[in-house]
Structure 1
Amino acid sequence: MIYGKILQIKEKKTIFEVSIEVHFNPLPGQYVSLVFPSENEIPLGIGDYYDGVLSLFIESEKIVNKIRNKKFVILKGPLGKRIDLGRRILGIAEGNLYYDLLFPLRQAKRQGKEVKVLCKDCESEFEEPSRDEDFDTILASVNYNEIKYLPPEAYVYVRWVKMNCNMGVCGICNINGHLPCIEGPFMKVKDLVD
């Protein structure tokens, strides 16, 4: 576990962006857990990490209120498995689910890779793809009932899965024999859908 210094909490339209100074090395596809000792820990996707500043995008005002007057937070991570990004990446998201994809997409862009995003009911900093483009990596954060429309090799952020221990011990997050807390939070569609 590591301590992070809260730099700012900024309220956007329907989400809070929490900026934390912390020195670690997350990779695209990993996540962190916000630890409240003797209480609980909350797994959160990494919104971005650049120059020692971690950005978390949090929808829950209740969680934000728990850290609002603190100078430091305790984080566990980086957790989960990194994803290998190809040269041409397509992101697919809806609403605030877009923030689940932001760190891998920004990292890819920083590495000079081509990034396009299909964003329904959200604003994206990336270009939209044309209909005839091919991509070697597809990242998605969509509602559970829309997973079946994604290609089998696409990575989907498994936001709907409860992750309890974040270490694979408890098995609560088990989906078809896969543990998103270790293998995710981005999982291939073919591993999630029968």
Structure 2
Amino acid sequence: MSVKHGLLTILTEHALAGYDLRSEFEQRTGGTWPLNISQIYSTLQRLERDGLVESTADDSDATLWNITDAGRAEAENWWYTATARSTPSREEASIKVTLAITSPYVDTAQVIRTQRTESLRALRDYTKLKSKLGPINSLSREDLAWAMLLDSYIFTLEAELRWLDHVESRIAMGFANLAPATPSATGPTQTGGLVANGTKKDNQ
């Protein structure tokens, strides 16, 4: 999701000043995507340049932002166009683990254990937050949206924990050689005419 489309979808409902638009954006996303006011205004200025919004002054000379017909069409197109999944998301935890597997000096099992502890903590926190909301059928629109966002975080963490278990079991089953080596003080460990990374060292 881009900030551009987030602001456009809110403006389809009513005109707002920049500060009010930021507050509503953060409220609707559960405070998970905080924006500074300069980012709001720079985005609005680009939207105005592209003919998707227009600015007017109210009775107190405050600037209000109104969506144009072209802006409504852009917002509707965004709502009903699937989000592309052609490029996998760059999730830091998964990148860290996969890099650890390729590094001869990193204890991959320890990396996994540390990440699992943190992911379990986050999972407990999100589950506790959701439990405080009460029954789904009694929630307001805003609370229901927050509950669904929490579900997204919970499901993502559960999938991450399953993946960590999978990687750990694969290592235990067939990749015992992933135990960390001990690097020398001056660089890769040397063995005979080869250094640890397989590159032949020069004869002196």
Band of TM-score, shorter chain: under 0.3
Higher helix proportion (structure 1 or 2): 2
Q: Which has the larger radius of gyration?
A: 2
**TM-score, reference length from structure 1:** 0.25
Higher strand proportion (structure 1 or 2): 1
Higher normalized contact order (CA 8 Å, seq sep 6+, divided by chain length): 1
